[in-house]
Structure 1
Amino acid sequence: MTANPVVAVLHAETVPDTTLLAPVAEHAEIRYTDSDGLATALEGADVLFVYDFLTDALPHAWHAAESLRWVHAAAAGVDPIMFPALRDSDVIVTNSRGVFDQPIAEYVLAQILSFAKDLPESLRLQREHTWRHRESERIAGRTALVVGTGPIGRAIARLLTAVGMKVRGSGRRARDDDPDFGIVTATEDLPEELSGADFVVVAAPLTEQTRGMFDTALFRAMKPSARFVNIGRGDLVRTDNLVEALRSGEIAGAALDVVDTEPLPQEHPLWDIPNVMITPHNSGDFRGWRDALVDVFVDNFQRWRSGGELENVVDKRLGYVPST
């Protein structure tokens, strides 16, 4: 490490709490910048902290990153910042894996319970001052298939198992002794696995291999009574195919925290389809999450400064941190 490293911090409208970055400022020059000034900030910079986790500015400023050695993303998914020149370079990429695992798992459980207990209809009847007795579903004993067996998928599996659901995983490699899922089936067996799931939860990373993976064929493989929950990335799903599956009754409902165009356009048909619940990409955003992201970077910076091993190093070929 150089004696006086330069750290560029890319932010959007929200700037990270500078007091939390004080341990970095003690040992480095910090350059705060928005996307317009990124190229200038990268000149001579050793480290880039991508606090604006939805940015598309990095490829356009990459020509100025001649000294860059490490990029840290304030997100679990690194797809917004991954592009060929970065992937082919020697620059290390790390992410903020671990911050959102449990909050997202809680969100998934909440959505499953909302479907099972039909909470939207209860609220509608309450607004009408209507007392109407109804029965609801149990979730204990129901089957959840979690597509994506990384840390977020594992947190989901543990929480759903704790409330009595039968949980299976779908990942790159099949195994029958997984500590969180028990049984994990390979991606190529996904259509068969979908046919037995009551709830399908998508927690896979977005890569070139997973982009658009949920299409007409996979929706048709699901049970008509199944519900679809996506907390991964909107581009994992072919949205037109999802709309058709919901309208035709091929699946019974969807809870979408991510969509392939964010914000979702006001005229988009998903807004008005019954049994669809939409949230604005906030499933993991607990109070204090932004500060937690800074803390992860500060901890990793201290490791980097002391010559230690960085945590959450992304395999740039895979597009995510490999499981150990």
Structure 2
Amino acid sequence: MIGTQSPVLAVLCGDQHPPDMDSIEHAAAVRYTDEAGLKKALHGADILFVYDFLSTAVPGAWEAADKLRWLHIASAGVDPVLFPGLRESDVVLTNSRGVFDDAIAEYVLGVVLAFAKDFARSRQLQQERTWLHRETERISGRRALVVGTGPIGRSIARLLRAAGLSVAGAGRTARESDPDFGVVHASAELTTHLGDYDYVIAVAPLTEQTKGMFDARAFAAMKPGARFVNVGRGELVVTEDLIGALRDGRPAGAALDVFDTEPLPSDSPLWTMENVLISPHMSGDFIGWRNTLVEVFAANFERWRTGQPLRNVVDKRLGYVPSGSN
């Protein structure tokens, strides 16, 4: 165990405490806090567990982190806590990589099928009690580009391929013969390749290089009839450019689970577009996911207190856990 006293753990959770914390509470002095009390909770704390992973309060309270050695966030994305003060510190950053991979992949397959089989229109006609026979699309043989080649992107690629789609990836480095994607295009050359695909799925981490990568130029490069899916970060997309592109029919449709402003404002044109499927940042949230997030932290906490290397350590320069890491 590190040290002779129980470590001090600050948990940023607002009014919704994480479940199944009993074993951790027996091994640490736990301080549950909301955003307003974060500075007080951070003072003297060894560990910060950002259970409220949508909170942006950590940078403003950072000056109180006088003893902090480890910060864990209960999400795969780390952009809410990856600010200069943390980057420049010796504090280790870990995330919850692996929890949401399969659930998000299932969501993506679901919306691909929803577009191809025109489920939204069928539901509308059902409500109108209208019998209107239509022909729908096959997904077998269609081409999908997964932009983001981390664990979530790989799960998406494997599931789409199993459903009969041809899948490629886009990431930092171009390569061939990837076990999950086959071909991986360089993200810097994204617009060169977008026109070759029927489905474009955004799941890249949010970094300075990826912010706003889907802009008017990118959407104009897509093929007629293509659909766009965003399960990554809202800030990957220039929203006004997407709205304009959808009105112009390229892409022909979009399934959006994340937005640059959440909740999505009630006056957003996206709400009423017939070619848009909206979900409220829930693509990875399966029944029991909150318990699983605590299990991931608890396993890493046990490693920390027994002096073992932590898992899911984020490269603070890159903004994600490098491929091949534990």
| Cα distance in 2 between the residues matched to 1:277 and 1:161 | 22
Q: Residue 8 of structure 2 aligns with which residue? A: 6
Q: Residue 218 of structure 2 aligns with which residue? A: 218
Aligned pair count reads: 322
**What does residue range 87-106 of structure 1 map to in structure 2 within 5 Å?**
87-106=87-106
Q: Residue 131 of structure 2 aligns with which residue? A: 131
| Cα distance in 2 between the residues matched to 1:173 and 1:45 | 39
Q: CA RMSD in A?
A: 0.8
**What does residue range 146-295 of structure 1 map to in structure 2 within 5 Å?**
146-295=146-295
| Cα distance in 2 between the residues matched to 1:15 and 1:26 | 16
SS at match of 1:177: strand
With structure 1 as the length reference, what TM-score do the two structures score? 0.98
Any unmatched runs of 5+ in structure 2?
none
Q: Residue 300 of structure 1 aligns with which residue? A: 300
**What does residue range 5-44 of structure 1 map to in structure 2 within 5 Å?**
5-17=7-19, 20-44=20-44
Deviation string 1:93-143 (CA, Å, 9 cap, x unpaired) is: 000000000000000000000000000000000001111110000000000
Q: 1:279 is aligned with what amino acid?
A: S
Q: What is the percentage of aligned positions where both structures have the same residue? A: 62
| Cα distance in 2 between the residues matched to 1:276 and 1:13 | 33
Q: CA deviation at 1:249?
A: 1.4
Deviation string 1:4-26 (CA, Å, 9 cap, x unpaired) is: 21011110231112xx2222222
SS at match of 1:318: coil
| Cα distance in 1 between the residues matched to 2:35 and 2:27 | 24
Matched, 1:64 2:69: no
Q: CA deviation at 1:2?
A: 2.4
| Cα distance in 2 between the residues matched to 1:247 and 1:167 | 27
Any unmatched runs of 5+ in structure 1?
none
Q: Residue 73 of structure 1 aligns with which residue? A: 73
Q: 1:104 is aligned with what amino acid?
A: I
Q: CA deviation at 1:250?
A: 2.1
| Cα distance in 2 between the residues matched to 1:278 and 1:13 | 27
Q: CA deviation at 1:273?
A: 1.6
Q: 2:321 is aligned with what amino acid?
A: V
| Cα distance in 2 between the residues matched to 1:88 and 1:242 | 35
Matched, 1:315 2:297: no
| Cα distance in 2 between the residues matched to 1:5 and 1:231 | 36
| Cα distance in 2 between the residues matched to 1:111 and 1:151 | 20
| Cα distance in 2 between the residues matched to 1:25 and 1:263 | 33
Q: 1:258 is aligned with what amino acid?
A: V
SS at match of 2:37: helix
